[in-house]
Structure 1
Amino acid sequence: MKFTDGFWRIRDGVQISYATEVRDVRAESKRFTTYASTKKVTRRGDTLNAPLVTVDCFSPAEGVVGVRVTHHAGKRRPGPDFALAAEAGGAGEVRRDDAATELTSGPLTLRLDADSGFGLTFLDAHGRELTRAGAKSTAYATTAEGAHHVLSRLSLGVGEHVYGLGERFTPFVKNGQTVDVWQADGGTSSEQAYKNVPFYLSSRGYGVFVNHPGAVSFEVGSESVGQVQFSVEDQTLEYYVIAGPTPKDVLGRYTALTGRPALPPAWSFGLWLSTSFTTSYDEATVTSFVDGMAERGIPLSVFHFDCFWMREYQWCDFRWDPEVFPDPEGMLARLKDKGLRVSVWINPYIAQKSPLFDEAAALGHLVRRPGGDVWQWDLWQAGMGLVDFTSPDARAWFQSKLKALLDQGVDCFKTDFGERIPTDVVWHDGSDPARMHNYYTHLYNRTVFELLEKERGQGEAVLFARSATAGGQQYPVHWGGDCWSSFEAMAESLRGGLSLSLSGFGFWSHDIGGFEGTPDPEVFKRWLAFGLLSSHSRLHGSTSYRVPWEFGDEAVDVARQFTLLKHRLMPYLYGAAAEAHRTGVPMMRPMLLEFPADPACRPLDRQYMLGPDLLVAPVFGADGDVEVYLPEGTWTHLLSGERVTGPCWRTERHGYDSLPLYVREGAVLPLAGDDSRPDGDWLEAPVLLVHPSGASDYAAEVTVPDAAGLPAATFHVRRDGDALRVTASGTDRPFTVRVPGGAEASGSGEVSVPVS
């Protein structure tokens, strides 16, 4: 929200009171509070009829400093609030002298200089300024309509870039944008977002998390061009500055605070096929799709039933349409016999025609209006109500309906919707409706994910979720929402995914081929390569099927090739997934995450690193032309073997069976010996692709994980003259070592292969 009219004036009807002068500081060992007047106090009478701004400074965890700005402290706080993992008693240490008060937590220091007017400066471990809230940067404001806002502004350095703020489809670098953190079902072609996260990451090596689950408005160099402003309509604003020094360090600290991603099961990384959204289908249709994939040699891991597995006008009643699926248990068993997992679509709404509506209403499980009526509308389902997940009983009731599906043989759920949450309602636990609007999706996905963990076991739970907010990364996987079937929408989707990855989300997917409309074969084939080199891969559309043969024989070949490639890459990919689970570093990584010191990488949004060592640049045109940037080092194309020395920009042309897919110098890529499935035995005849550096003392190691993401075996690589020696620990089974140029050797225990 903008409060000023240009640089000099305040907007009509707005009054702003800035924290101007420090009047007192009260310090403890790990925190301090300062009281700032909103004008200069030159005489005792200036303290009368004048407000104070209270600023609390504390550290919830090492490397994180919190600032809480309050005007009136007596406002009722009904919640909800983000669940944060803070250290008991806090972290950090306060130091005071005559001129300043400092709070140091790990590599981050907050400095309050009392003698020069109110201001907060954040310093790194070397005393370098990261950002500051200087003069006229901490304030509260009132509008002509009587709304009360609290705002803060943090400085932007020259050339500083801002990223994140959720899954946003607008430009990847957020400088110059107004970003309103408010859940919306707006597709992928507007400034609205399904996944709004009040956290941004800076190219200077820090992050900022605004600890407010409701509407947060960010002006990223868009009101005051040298500052990021964030504001809330409230009496209190709390934000955390999170230290680096690297972007990975920032994400590690942020996800330690808000929650690390669960590790999805290995089978979920295979290809998912959907019935699509509003298409007509029955068991015969489903069987024809599944058998058609098998006949064409395209391995399928998950089959997904979208909306119309239930009866029309009755979503969600969690009952199979008996006219279309008269034998759901038998059908699911038959799909299981083909080696498939099964997913079904759900949402948190109960249509009035559903028998569950009266049941839920009578039990008090639906959200109500202030007068006691059930909140309803017709926008999605006729007369639908909204499950009140703030009620423990409602959560248990909802889970009981899903458990019946799990008992039938369903394995996981696509948790659709959850964005259009009303604010003219009363919640069971008394939550503030404005704060609940964004937070509702967190309760929804947590309710479903916890059931899956309970019934299927930890490590077997996985969702396909559309909406999320801060902390939602704990319940993967999330997909990119409703996009068009075009190259432009394909690029939009990637921007959104990379933005989400810099917001703490480790896993992300998208609709291969696009959702709305039917893609041209050229779009579909290019999207296949992109989709199967993403964290998770799903064929899904709106009004038309997405089976590859609908788009020609070449599309079948492309689908087969890249599905088999992903299966081969699974030991490497699951290692990257386990890293995301342990550290919060995402699988799909913007280039700046791996190469933060390379300024050319900072704006790149049409290529990414898949894990630490694979560079992927999707092709966004039918002619196959693509620009790709290779950072410093020697890169080897995984498919062709071509070697290129960076840093350099390249324009390449690729057929549908290829794209820029480069392996980083020094990398050891473990490949599965069996490419028929994503969750096979990865120590059965694995192949190690070693891409050594030219250094005489080159050494590396790679770990092949087990199904729980834990190390199953480790391979140690070292250069020994004109050979590479690879030693295995944790396994005595045979393996193959291969180096660029085609040299390879096989054995067990220790293998030596010549290298130039």
Structure 2
Amino acid sequence: MIQEPQTDKHQIGALTGASKRDNYYELHFETGEIARFYILADGIFRLLLDPKQQFNEENSAFIQFDHFNNNAFEKSRVRATNDSLIIHSGNYQIIFWQKPAIMSIFDETLHGTRMAQSSPIEVGAQQTTEFLDQDKNEFYFGGGLQNGYFSHKGRKIKIKRDHITGKGGVISEVPFFWSNRGYGELRNTRQAGTYDFGKTDSKVTTISHKDQLFDNFYLLGSTPQEILSKFYRLTGKPAMLPKYALGLGHIGNFCTTMWQPSKAAVRNATKIDGNFYTRTKNEELASHKASLNGEENYHFSARAMIDRYQKAHFKLSWFVPNYNVTAANDALDFFNDYAVNQEVAPGFWHQDDLALPEKTTFDFTSDAGLIDSDKAKLQNQLQDKRAIVFSDNGSVGTQKDAALIYGDVGGNWENIATQVAGLVGSNLSGQPLAGAAVDGTVGGGNAQITVRDFEWKAFTPLLFNLDDQGQYSKTPFAYNRKITDINHAYLQLHQRLQSYLYTLNAQARLGQPIVRPLFIDFPEERTNYTEMFSSEFMLGDNLLIAPITSGRENEQGDSLKDNLYLPGKQTMWIDLFTGQKYAGGRVYNNLLYPTWHLPVFVRGGSIFNFGKRDYVIYPQGTSHGVTYEDNGTVDFESNHSQTRITSSFDEEKLVVTVEPTEGQYPGLESDQPTALTLICDAYPENVEVRVNDQIVPLQVYGTLDAFAHASEGIFYNTNYSLPEFSQYQLPKQTALQIKLASHAVATTKIEVTIRDFSYSSEVLGHEITSGVLPSPKLPSVASSKISAHSFELAWTHPAEVQVEINNLLYEGIEGTSFTFHELLPNTRYIIRMRYVIGNKVSEWSDLFGVITKHAAEDYAIQEISVTSNFTSKANHPLDYLTDLKLASEWQTSEPVSPEHPLELTFKFSDVEKLSRMAFVPRNIDHEGDPTEISLAVSTDNENYHVYADHVTWKADSKNKVIGLRDVRAKSVRLTVYRSSGPMVAAREIIFYRAKR
């Protein structure tokens, strides 16, 4: 037993006894603790250790205890050995070792251990901690929306919402994690936690919560879907969104926003009613005031905003008119009438327990504690229609009632990759209904970033703008005609994908993430579990989206894209817009994408329903699809239909089968037509269509116009493309299109057989090694061209080459050198290279290695204590200044002056040998940047000597660095005499120790 009396913490002692009770096993330990072990269902277990021995079994705000019975427990059996107690439940053996008192779970079907504690549970008055074995190939996920990350191996995360919306911020806190080893854990607590997934010790995972009660659920499963489905069984299935929620939303403040006249040349000016205006907080400058219904000036009202969307031909689906302010219910009632008449679902924002305005369709709350009651009130008002709550925070159980939406600082490229990883992480944490505002809330103003942000978010379930919080308008028509047209095309595509998104929502209730990492569909590839390609994601299992995440462009303004990974060596990928085909299992480089073109790839074998039984198929191998439909009633389980489609392509024979529709709901059309679009390479002459095993003769049409006017027929389309993007002169694809007249969907089976079908099997062909091509001499990497995240590879002769790095094949590389970006710091890369000419390749060069450098943050001093003589603003606390999260921001609540300077004192745990101090300014604006400072250092925390006296800084976006080479200090004092604004603000102050 390890005991720490000074902190009242100790690890539980040896297991001394056990007994089987009515519905649990009781365990006794040498140190006096008693624990209960419950078997709720196959692969769902609970360990409850209560120091007070009160054992309130149903003490939980989020566990659905009424969904379980005692059957699994009664079927369990127990046996004792010389050193352990073994409980058998289904295919699992739960082993409680006697000394030390640790638990492990053995899976008999796997013939291996799913999870194992590395040392006994630690209990104390303030905290309980579990220690788990960690395997080198084990990866961890969960914890809620940990923005910027979905894979946590080697990291430490906090289970506590911190009001930071950028990278490293915790948007929602979920005390649940799972491992690709095949288990997950859900801690039954609302208290803050810290999960260390090997940052401190690479062989140990440490799970701590500030709760003296250890109440833990263990979820076992062979796949992520199994683990997530068991999480939902405990806490509730994700809600089914009402279909309007899958459309475009607008959130704004039409209660307190004021406007002043401006000019078109002003960067943040907004065109309203033919004139230009900017937002202002100065009532003396304001010429117009926003309102809900035009009580002040109609053109600045919420109603007028709906009109503006309609005039711009953007279909608006839902609207929140009072974000972050309280609005009178009578005004909201009038607005809601107008919105409903315009077929826009109205909602309202609130933080308090308020009465619902009339005709409210949904609400948006910033208080997670109100989600349950809000949902109940909405459901009562809506009766049979489905209710949904939007919230900008949440925890366990939020998924069954609410969708998670949030905004960040717009106008920076980094946020795109950050939010992709964050939304993926939210899905892996049991909250698949999540979305981020286009171009954030504050900041912004960069049209190129805005349009790229809108593009990739069109491939997420929740697409919306959050306006009126900063200087720049966030509407999709806020910029020039080019940007507006691109946004409009992507909105139409988003609407076309509604049936697909709705089906993904239904499948999420079964444990399938919606916005998902590559390893869900390609689990055999280790790299997919890491952060290496964390800015890519799958939307369902059919689409791979690789957002543009930087401003790198060529002279024509096309985005440059490197490091684009398409997984699956036997998978064909098709560019959604151009039809160009790519082989999977490769990393593509030197790709060019015009502003309208987002890198989106369709997986070979994909089957889409573009609505009303309009199926589009990209044949490869055998694949299956299912489409869910309903009428938006509350009870989805009993009121929906599903239609299954199969595509089987073997050599030259393609068979497509549309099964009879199963299920019923009020309003389901019994007779419906069916359309099939089969993407292909050449005209297939042998087409046979059967309806309920009877051959249906179909006329072949020669023109698209004739085919469009026919109720049935076949058309070989050599100019097939997405109609929304026809203006961009896409390379045309070829497709066989088939239409069938209405049939009874519940009793009709459709089967299409094509015997001479072709679709690009040669894409997956292997390169031919040619003896004519010489093997390249060993490429070189100059040490000066190696950084923490990149290195430059150089070779002698100009040529097209393929490079293999850590068993990944990189292509699209030519010339005499190439820089590999987006690499991991302090990582060894094993490299070889070969020449390429057409489909012929040379032998590989010899292998060699490169180790990337340490990242700068590896030298940053952590756990710095900081004090100030100024108070800090709420939600911008002083500890944000040294938390090493560039997304957090500290602000003073007092003005600074030479007569009343700010003093910040930074203390280290030991005397440090420093190299430099970096001041990182806020990125919203530069009101609050220090402009005159001094720096003093101390080795004893008492006596300070001035190191830099009255240094002047510019108020701009650049980091300010003070060199501290060879300076030894235990504390540093920063004095600020002047600032560019009425307060002082910073994202971070970082102290770096000298490199060893």
TM-score range, shorter-chain basis? 0.7 to 0.9
Q: Secondary structure at the match of 1:159?
A: coil
1:343 aligned residue? 347
Contact 1:242–1:250 at 8 Å: present in 2 too? yes
1:411 aligned residue? 361
Q: Does 1:27 align with 2:20?
A: yes
User: One-letter code of the match for 1:291?
Assistant: D
Q: Does 1:631 align with 2:556?
A: no
Deviation readout 1:434-473 (Å, 9 max, x if unpaired)? xxxxxxx2x4111111222222145521222111111111
Q: Secondary structure at the match of 2:68?
A: coil
Q: CA deviation at 1:513?
A: 0.8
1:553 aligned to 481, 494, 511, which one?
Answer: 481
Deviation readout 1:101-134 (Å, 9 max, x if unpaired)? 22344444311233x5322112223231122113
CA separation in 1, counterparts of 2:257 and 2:560?
A: 34
Q: Secondary structure at the match of 1:333?
A: helix
Q: For the structure 1 residues 455 and 752, does the alpha-carbon distance in structure 2 shift closer, same or farther, using more than 3 Å as the test? A: farther
Q: For the structure 1 residues 107 and 650, does the alpha-carbon distance in structure 2 shift closer, same or farther, using more than 3 Å as the test? A: farther
Equivalent residue runs for 1:476-515 within 5 Å: 476-515=402-441
User: One-letter code of the match for 1:739?
Assistant: I
Q: Does 1:644 align with 2:582?
A: yes
CA separation in 2, counterparts of 1:203 and 1:76?
A: 32
Deviation readout 1:277-309 (Å, 9 max, x if unpaired)? 86442343334433333333322212221337x
Contact 1:704–1:714 at 8 Å: present in 2 too? no
Q: Does 1:303 align with 2:319?
A: yes
CA separation in 2, counterparts of 1:715 and 1:77?
A: 45
Q: CA deviation at 1:76?
A: 9.1
CA separation in 1, counterparts of 2:404 and 2:166?
A: 14
Deviation readout 1:709-752 (Å, 9 max, x if unpaired)? 62254444444853444445345513132214422122224545
Question: Which has the higher Rg, Structure 1 or Structure 2?
Answer: 2
Q: Secondary structure at the match of 2:567?
A: strand
Q: Does 1:187 align with 2:187?
A: no
Deviation readout 1:665-717 (Å, 9 max, x if unpaired)? 22211113xxxxxxxxx24xx1x221222x4xx35343352335622544444
1:123 aligned to 106, 127, 130, which one?
Answer: 106
CA separation in 2, counterparts of 1:459 and 1:637?
A: 38
Contact 1:276–1:540 at 8 Å: present in 2 too? no
Extract unaligned runs of 5+ from structure 2: 259-289, 553-558, 662-670, 682-733, 741-749, 759-996
User: One-letter code of the match for 2:320?
Assistant: H
2:235 aligned residue? 258
Deviation readout 1:39-81 (Å, 9 max, x if unpaired)? xxxxxxxxxxxx3232322222221122223333259999663
1:729 aligned residue? 660
Q: CA deviation at 1:138?
A: 1.3
Greater shift, 534-543 or 279-288, is seen at 279-288
Q: For the structure 1 residues 473 and 23, does the alpha-carbon distance in structure 2 shift closer, same or farther, using more than 3 Å as the test? A: same
Q: CA deviation at 1:511?
A: 0.6
Q: Secondary structure at the match of 1:167?
A: strand
1:668 aligned residue? 607
Q: Secondary structure at the match of 1:307?
A: coil
Q: CA deviation at 1:250?
A: 0.6
Q: For the structure 1 residues 725 and 23, does the alpha-carbon distance in structure 2 shift closer, same or farther, using more than 3 Å as the test? A: closer
Contact 1:485–1:515 at 8 Å: present in 2 too? no
1:599 aligned residue? 526
Q: CA deviation at 1:255?
A: 0.9
Q: CA deviation at 1:526?
A: 0.6
Identity %: 18
Whose strand fraction is larger, Structure 1's or Structure 2's? Answer: 2
Q: Does 1:463 align with 2:377?
A: no
Contact 1:16–1:139 at 8 Å: present in 2 too? yes
Equivalent residue runs for 1:664-703 within 5 Å: 664-672=603-611, 682-683=612-613, 686=614, 688-693=615-620, 695=621, 698=622, 700-703=624-627
2:540 aligned residue? 611
1:353 aligned residue? none
Q: CA deviation at 1:503?
A: 0.8
2:34 aligned residue? 54
CA separation in 1, counterparts of 2:382 and 2:546?
A: 36
Q: Secondary structure at the match of 1:301?
A: strand
Q: Secondary structure at the match of 2:585?
A: strand
CA separation in 2, counterparts of 1:26 and 1:502?
A: 37
2:93 aligned to 77, 94, 109, which one?
Answer: 109
CA separation in 1, counterparts of 2:80 and 2:55?
A: 34
CA separation in 2, counterparts of 1:497 and 1:291?
A: 32
Q: Report the TM-score, using the length of structure 1 for normalisation.
A: 0.77
Extract unaligned runs of 5+ from structure 1: 1-8, 38-50, 142-146, 349-386, 388-397, 419-440, 673-681
Equivalent residue runs for 1:365-444 within 5 Å: 398=354, 401-402=355-356, 405=357, 407=358, 409-415=359-365, 417-418=366-367, 441=368, 443-444=369-370
Q: Secondary structure at the match of 2:478?
A: helix
Q: CA deviation at 1:625?
A: 3.2
CA separation in 2, counterparts of 1:180 and 1:98?
A: 39
CA separation in 2, counterparts of 1:13 and 1:97?
A: 36
Alignment coverage as a number of residue pairs: 622
Contact 1:261–1:584 at 8 Å: present in 2 too? no
Q: Secondary structure at the match of 2:474?
A: coil
Contact 2:147–2:165 at 8 Å: present in 1 too? no
1:42 aligned residue? none
1:707 aligned residue? 631
1:747 aligned residue? 739
1:73 aligned to 53, 75, 79, which one?
Answer: 53
1:208 aligned to 178, 182, 185, which one?
Answer: 185
Q: Report the TM-score, using the length of structure 2 for normalisation.
A: 0.59
1:573 aligned residue? 501
1:82 aligned residue? 62
Q: Which has the higher contact order (CA 8 A, sep 6+)?
A: 1
Q: For the structure 1 residues 174 and 750, does the alpha-carbon distance in structure 2 shift closer, same or farther, using more than 3 Å as the test? A: closer
User: One-letter code of the match for 2:217?
Assistant: Y
Greater shift, 58-67 or 196-205, is seen at 58-67
CA separation in 1, counterparts of 2:71 and 2:194?
A: 28
Q: For the structure 1 residues 68 and 655, does the alpha-carbon distance in structure 2 shift closer, same or farther, using more than 3 Å as the test? A: same
1:433 aligned residue? none
Deviation readout 1:213-268 (Å, 9 max, x if unpaired)? 22223222234432222223343201122111111111011111111111011111
2:29 aligned to 4, 29, 36, which one?
Answer: 36
Q: For the structure 1 residues 74 and 690, does the alpha-carbon distance in structure 2 shift closer, same or farther, using more than 3 Å as the test? A: closer
CA separation in 1, counterparts of 2:257 and 2:414?
A: 25
Greater shift, 500-509 or 289-298, is seen at 289-298
CA separation in 2, counterparts of 1:73 and 1:625?
A: 62
1:133 aligned residue? 117
Q: Does 1:454 align with 2:380?
A: yes
